[in-house]
Amino acid sequence: MYAKCGALDKAEEVFDNILVRDVISWTALIAGLIEHGNGDKALESFIQMQQEGICPNAITFSCGVKACSLTWDINKGKEMHSLIKHTDTLACDAIVSNTLVDMYAKCGLLDAACIVFNELPTRNIAGWTALISGYADCGQSEEVLKCFDLMEAEGVTSDSMSLACSLKACSNLTLANKGQELHAEIERTGFIVKDAFIGISLVNMYAKCGLFAKAQEVFIKLPVQEVTAWTILIGAYIDHACEREALTLFEKMQLKGVLPNTITFVHCLKSCTNLMDINKGQEIHADIEKLGYFEGHLSIGNALIGMYSKCNFLDEACILFDKLPLRDTVSWNLILAAFLEHKQIDKVLDLLAWMHFEGVAPDPFTCACSLKVYSSIGDIEVVQMIHSEIQKKGLLEDDILLGNMLVDAYATCGFLSAAECIFSRLPKQDVVSWNTLITGYCEHGDGETVLMRLELMQGANIPPNSISLVCALRACVQIADIKKAQEFHVEIERQGLLQDIVIGNTLVDTYGKFGLLGKSYEVFVNLPKKDVVSWTALLAGYADYGHGKEALMFVKQMQSDGMDLNDVTYICILKACISGGLIREGLDAHGEIERRELLEKYVEVGVALIDFYAKNELIARAHEVFDSLPARNVLAWNTLIVGYAENGCAKEALNLFECMLNDGFSPDVQTFSFILMVSGMIGDKEWGWYIHSELEKKGLFQASALGNMIVDMYAKCGSFPSAQTVFFKISDQDLVAWNALVTGFAEHGHAHEALHWFEHMSTKGIFPNTITFLGALKACTTLGFLNKGLEIHANIARLNLLESDAAIGNSLINMYAKCGVLTKAREIFHSIPDQSVISWTALIAGCIEHECDKEALMYYKHMQSEGIIPNFVTRLCILNACSSIGTIQMGREIHAEIEKEGLAQTDVVSNALVHMYAKCGSVDEAQNVFDQLTVANVVAWNTLAAGYALFGRHTTALTLINRMLKDGLKPNMVTFVTALSVCNQCCLFNDCLMFLEAMNTEHGVHVAIEHITSIITLLCRVGQVENALAFSNKLPFVSNLVVWLSVLSACRANGDLECARVAYKHAMCLNNEDPAIPVLMSHIYRGSNT
């Protein structure tokens, strides 16, 4: 009695006081314990009974077996089964056997349950129900219905449990017809009236099968429409995406006075979430608070957090999260997912740290969120740590979502080989797995691999979906394969997939990216439905290909069609303004962006504005926009850094990078690439080395693209040992890496090394391209290696590069001109299909270098008659030509052009003008140019002083040099060559010695042969030949012959016959076989007419 009533302590007390305890008393106690769910205690009692020598009877064994079911103690259950089998009377007992069937079924050993069931001499409803319930609990719905049919075939009448299980199986399999057969049976037996659970199961079955009218019909017939039935119906509506109907039903339920339970509220909040109906959600929240359900029901708290998060009410979600009296992993996951969806990365990182601090164990979803956030900031080290934890816990074996997220994380960080490795080890690869891998390759620009993986995916009998095809089209753009893109287009049309707006929009974008704007427009026009993305894709193509005005016309048309512009549209508008040079329109767009407060919501719009201003050389405005951004990301920093670099402010770009690091931002691969580029531009090896070391830490530098950039940076900085070390560490030394070395050596004047690497390429099977040939030609030009140049020219001709690449033609002109083969240079020049200003300048420079100045001027005039506008370099060349042949009028014309373009204040131009006027004898005009300089550098001073000296105004020249030294300007070697030359001409021996002394002691200028020549020449001229000889003998760095030859050359220039005779005599004494000595002397005699 006590056991049956649940007073187990009292029952045990009475039992303990029984002097003689038999099987009946033991069985009563065990049965009472089982009836009240105390399986462990029941088993202890069963074992104690056996230890006391009491033999269990059939009822005791049934109770013992039930206890094993309750505790899932299958081993103990098997022991009891063994005892039962060895007891003849028990083995045939139907109750015991049915209990065994039930025990095996409940423990999930359905094969063992079937064996026991099939051995039953008579199979009654208890055995069938036990087996059917077992299959139902294990989710084997087909087996449930098979057993039910077999049971009916054997004439066994179903009970409420077997019917309920069968209805549930019909729900799971959405077998409405079978469900209706069961319904007929239920109506016939009257179970719908007798058993409320059967009625509710019927409602559930019809609702899950989508037959809501039938479900309502059964629902109305229920004797009592309790909350469970209402909740089932509401849940089914939600499962069939009928959220509004679900909420209507909820309102009816409330009107009927039925109090919602926890599950009802969770269902209704889910409806509000799916509908984004925050108002209804807040109403339900108020009901929940009124009933006090929030504090006591975690599932409701989680549902509320989910609803507010999805409806973009993050503040409310956070308040509720903080108010939860208890948080489970689901609570944390909901708030993490909310902030992750809104890209609030810092907040997600804080939450993860807080979760870890509170000791909450992450589940697979938490791991997935963590992977997403850390991969988004490129933190590969943390991604690898999370991966390690996932492997330790064995989570990848059953969770394909987590496996896919791991693939995505590694791919996002650029570790595509690791992503591929994880992908290959996934227990199952579904379409999401393939798409994740394919998208990773696509995002990193590896179009070829995307298409290869797509073929493998189809070979694995996984048909591509819209995401796969979108990646395929993007891959075609990446590898510039329009033919392949058109093939995909045909396949898309064949499968009728143009109805998918995502695919249609991608096709519009694809043709736009290829510059096939007409085709892009044609696809756009034929789209069955157009959204803002369709319009934006169309105008992006026009913007990218320089049709900015047409793009803005589409914007107006889009607005007239009632389409609202989104953030991406404004980004494309700004691109259009860049490509069309439409500054005014860009400023208008900025105003509209400010009015709509888009900068506060979308950092990408801010990035586009920064780019717009930077591209239009308004870098200060770009920086203003950057400073005004409420939230900055790495892309914003990158864009501003590149803007400064492209506007010639490389040092400022590096300063910005330092600020970025100080602000706690982690550079991405693009940042590293930009800083390597900037470091190379200005030869800042220190920053380049820092980036190299950071990439080494992250294990990224061996990736060919970044490795190539490091090689290029070191090469541009002239640090060739470092460049070569990195080159050999790159896993895949492609053409880009080789080009970096060849070009680097050539640019830094290491021409022999450049040609060595150029020749070494072919031994490695690497074929040169235009960039390689340009580096090799520069090396030949530097060395004057005509034969090697001819060989390279032959290779260029074989590859037909001359016709397709103007830079190659220009380099060949330059090479032949510098090697003195002007005929060949002219031949190449005339064979170039498009003779640009660079081509003309190369030919003109070659003529000037080989003293064909008049021909250079002729080409200059011809160039102008062809409508080619000379550039900065062309004008400098012509100024040199004018200097050489004294054509001052042409020089003045060039000067006027330079003044008109505002270039006269630059150092190189002003120095060239001073030099031209001075050489042409118009030193007053040279002085005038000099006086207009804001800051005159040493070259300008030297040039003007040399001009005065050249035309005999020696005092002025010396005054100018002394003034320069007095002003604190650092002189160079040329300064003292001019000073000593003037002293030489004026026989100012003491001044000459004074300047020579000042060179070393005051100014740190090393004495060169030109300085010595002036001194020795002066000594000879004043009759101190012995001193000149003694002076030359003291020189440790040059032979005496070189000195006397230099003196001879100086005498020829100055017409100093007496000094020349002294120099000739000493030179012949040193080497009477050198033909240069008598030739020089004969020129001096001829010049003096003696």
For residue 694, the model assigns a pLDDT of: 82
pLDDT score of 518: 92
Is 30 among the domain residues? no
CA distances from 717 to 1, 220, 530, 722, 733 (A): 97, 85, 52, 10, 20
pLDDT at 1089: 66
Q: Is the pLDDT of residue 196 over 80?
A: no
pLDDT of residue 503: 92
Q: What is the model's pLDDT at position 53? A: 74
* Beta carbons of 110 and 140 less than 8 angstroms apart: yes
Q: What is the pLDDT of residue 1033?
A: 63
Predicted pLDDT at 609: 95
Q: How confident is the model at residue 269 (pLDDT cuts 50, 70, 90)?
A: very high
Q: Over range 481-486, report the average pLDDT.
A: 92
**pLDDT given at position 614:** 92
Mean pLDDT of 684-701: 80
What values do phi and psi take at 218, rounded to 5?
-65, -40
Question: Would you place residue 66 in the very low, low, confident or very high pLDDT band (cuts 50, 70, 90)?
Answer: confident
Q: Which residues contact 631 (CB under 8 A, 6 or more apart)?
A: 603
Whether 807 and 799 have beta carbons less than 8 Å apart is answered as no
**How confident is the model at residue 26, as a pLDDT?**
75
* pLDDT band, very low/low/confident/very high, at 874 (cuts 50, 70, 90): confident
Please check whether residue 604 lies inside any domain of the structure.
yes
Report the range of poorest mean pLDDT among 28-37, 149-158, 657-666, 775-784: 28-37
Cα–Cα distance, 1047 to 1054 (Å, whole number): 10
CB-side neighbour CA atoms (13 Å) of 268: 27
Burial class of residue 1088, CB neighbours in 10 A (0-12, 13-18, 19+): middle
Across 303-307, 529-533, 1009-1013, least confident range: 1009-1013
Please tell me the predicted confidence (pLDDT) of residue 5. Answer: 57
Higher pLDDT, 898 or 808: 808
pLDDT of residue 9: 61
Phi-psi region of 106 (alpha: psi -120 to 50; beta: other; left: phi over 0): alpha
Contact 403, 426 (CB under 8 A): yes
- Distance (Å, rounded) from C-alpha 145 to C-alpha 480? 57
pLDDT at 546 over 90: no
Rounded to an integer, the average pLDDT of 703-727 is 85
Given this model, what pLDDT does residue 1035 score? 62
3-class DSSP state for residue 639?
A: helix
Residue-by-residue DSSP string for 783-813: HT-HHHHHHHHHHHHHTTHHHH-HHHHHHHH
Confidence band for 1028, pLDDT divided at 50, 70 and 90? low
Residue pair 402/364 in contact by the 8 Å Cβ criterion: yes
pLDDT tens, residue by residue, 207-231 = 888 888 888 887 887 777 888 888 8
Distance CA 124, CA 1090 (A): 145
The answer on pLDDT for 388 being more than 70 is yes
In a domain, 37, yes or no: no
Mean predicted lDDT score pLDDT of the chain: 84
- As a whole number, mean pLDDT of residues 181-190 equals 79
| pLDDT for position 628 | 92
Looking at 367, 399, 424, the residue that finishes a domain is: 424
Tokens of 734: 């492609």
Q: Contact, 23 vs 60, CB < 8 A?
A: yes
Last residue of a domain, one of 596, 616, 631: 631
In this prediction, residue 1025 carries a pLDDT of 59
pLDDT at 990 over 70: yes
Calculate mean pLDDT across residues 1053-1057. Answer: 75
How far, in Å, CA of 695 to CA of 687, rounded? Answer: 12
Instruction: Please report where in the chains the tokens 């910005």 appear, as a residue.
Output: 656
- Rg of the chain over Cα atoms, rounded to whole angstroms, equals 46
**Secondary structure of 309-338 in HEC code, one letter for each residue:** HHCCCHHHHHHHHHHCCCCCHHHHHHHHHH
| CA dist., res. 430 & res. 438, Å (int) | 12
Q: Residue 574: what pLDDT?
A: 92
Q: In angstroms, rounded to a whole number, what is the distance separating the alpha carbons of residues 163 and 210?
A: 20
Phi, psi of 55 (to 5 degrees): -85, 125
The answer to whether 519 and 489 are in contact (CB under 8 A) is no
Domain stop point among 611, 631, 651? 631
Is residue 852 a part of any domain in this protein?
no
Measure the CA–CA gap between 702 and 10, rounded to whole angstroms.
77
Confidence of residue 389 (pLDDT cuts 50, 70, 90): confident
State which residues form the domain around 416. 347-424
The angle formed by the CA atoms of residues 53, 59 and 65, to the nearest 5 degrees, is 85
Give the amino acid at 36. H
Helix%, strand%, coil% for the chain, nearest 5: 75, 0, 25
Query: Got the DSSP string for 796-857?
Result: HHHTTHHHH-HHHHHHHHHHHHHTT-HHHHHHHHHH-SS--HHHHHHHHHHHHHTT-HHHHH
Domain contains 587: yes
Burial of 181 (0-12, 13-18, 19+ CB in 10 A): middle
Count CA atoms closer than 13 A to 280's CA, side-chain side: 19
| Residues with Cβ within 8 Å of residue 401, at least 6 apart in sequence | 364, 365, 368, 432
Report pLDDT for 277: 92
Position 988 in a domain? no
In a domain, 396, yes or no: yes
How many C-beta atoms lie closer than 10 Å to residue 345's C-beta?
17
The reply to whether 691 falls in a domain is no
What does the pLDDT read at residue 520? 92
Whether pTM > 0.85 for this model: the answer is no
Confidence of residue 278 (pLDDT cuts 50, 70, 90): very high
Type of residue numbered 471 = C
| CATH code of the domain containing 1089 | 1.25.40
Cβ–Cβ under 8 Å, residues 692 and 726: yes
Task: Write out pLDDT tens, residues 4-19.
Answer: 555 556 666 666 666 6
**Is residue 811 within 8 Å of 792, Cβ to Cβ?**
no
Number of structural domains in the chain? 3
Instruction: Give the burial string for 946-985 (b: 16+ CB within 10 Å, else e).
Output: bbbbeeebbebbbebbeebbeeebebeebbbbbbbbbbbb
The string of pLDDT tens digits covering residues 811-866 is 999 899 888 888 898 898 888 877 888 889 888 988 988 888 899 899 889 988 88
